[in-house]
Homo-oligomer: A and B are copies of this chain.
Amino acid sequence: MYSHGRHPSSQLLRIHQNHFLIDCGEGTQFQLQRFKCKPFKINCIFISHLHGDHYFGLIGLLTTYQLLRRESALTIVGPPKLEEIIRLQLSVANSVLTYPVEFIVTQDEEVQVVYENDEVEVTSFPLQHRIECTGFLFREKLSGRRLNPEAIKDLSLSAENYKDLKGGNDIVDMDGRPHTNESLTLPGYVPRSYAYCTDTLFLPSIIPIVKGVDLLYHETTFIHEALERAIVTFHSTTIQAATIAAEAGVKKLLIGHFSSKYQDLQLLLNECQSVFEETSLSLEGHIFQIKRE
């Protein structure tokens, strides 16, 4: 079901060369087309849990890759049983994928690093929902020192010099002059971070995990008046999400996964902002950038 033009969950997250898809509800591949995203760039897909509004679109996307002869490797991070479901559907269709897929299995007992490369580290952490469910924390890796354009502009530097400077070493330039690393470089950027938390009951145990992130996506299925309904269905209210954001001292809160009850989302936004000012609605097709500091 989709209501008021809102489709099931899926987010595209870009971190340098990484294109991550987070959750993949039915129709995600059509939405990627609609918003002119390039599905072939996606190198890793993260699935929070096996309720349909978070993964029914995955098999369709994988099949489309197949039809279009994707060759590059794909990693899928998700709950146990996800691989079995996908493999069964591929096998009845007699499909042998044209590209390698690696499945990484999450578990909802403890925090674990589920994906890592030179640019980013992704951690999964337990949420509390009707079935096994995890959140994901994406953290940019600390970059090395970066060149100070002002300081180097009149120097003759070799490729080796650049590499040494980025590695934190002192150098001798091509004219034979020595330079300390500090004189030619600036400190690296502060690593940026994004946390994705859906679907879950109000869960204070995630506060230390998402502490200080630049951007926190937290579900707000209900307004706070529907607290009892939220508890019964293992979802969160506006005030609960905003409380997590405030307690964790995040820089910005993004809310989503709104119940189809709510055509107008202004009340949900207002309730969150009453506790945590820096809140935005995650609407279809909207892009949020985390600027470097």
Contact residues of A with B, CB < 8 Å?
1-2, 7, 26-27, 29-30, 33, 50-53, 56-57, 59-60, 63-64, 67-68, 79, 81, 84-85, 88-89, 92-94, 130-131
Q: What residues of B have a CB within 8 angstroms of the CB of A30 in the complex?
A: 2, 7, 26-27
Q: If A50-B93, A81-B92, A85-B89 touch, does A59 touch B56 (CB 8 Å cutoff)?
A: yes
Alpha-carbon distance A172/B96, docked complex (angstroms): 71
Nearest 6 CB-CB pairs, A to B?
A1-B64, A26-B60, A50-B92, A52-B63, A81-B92, A27-B27
Give the nearest-CB partner of A25 in chain B. Answer: B60
Q: What residues of B have a CB within 8 angstroms of the CB of A60 in the complex?
A: 26, 52, 56
Q: What residues of B have a CB within 8 angstroms of the CB of A57 in the complex?
A: 26
Q: If A27-B27, A88-B84, A93-B50 touch, does A2 touch B56 (CB 8 Å cutoff)?
A: no
Q: Is the CB of B93 within 8 A of A131?
A: yes
- Kindly provide the distance from the CB of A7 to the nearest chain B CB, expressed in whole angstroms: 8
Q: A26-B26, A52-B59 given. 13 additional CB < 8 A pairs?
A: A1-B29, A26-B30, A50-B92, A52-B63, A53-B63, A56-B60, A56-B63, A79-B92, A81-B88, A84-B88, A85-B88, A88-B88, A94-B131
Q: Is the CB of A93 within 8 A of B27?
A: no
Alpha-carbon distance A53/B63, docked complex (angstroms): 9
- Kindly provide the distance from the CB of A100 to the nearest chain B CB, expressed in whole angstroms: 20
Q: What residues of B have a CB within 8 angstroms of the CB of A59 in the complex?
A: 52, 56
Q: What residues of B have a CB within 8 angstroms of the CB of A33 in the complex?
A: 1-2
Give the nearest-CB partner of A56 in chain B. Answer: B60
- Kindly provide the distance from the CB of A27 to the nearest chain B CB, expressed in whole angstroms: 5
Q: Which of B67, B81, B85, B130 contacts A1 (CB 8 A)?
A: B67
Q: What residues of B have a CB within 8 angstroms of the CB of A88 in the complex?
A: 81, 84-85, 88
Alpha-carbon distance A155/B57, docked complex (angstroms): 62
Alpha-carbon distance A50/B95, docked complex (angstroms): 11
Q: Which of B53, B92, B130 contacts A94 (CB 8 A)?
A: B130
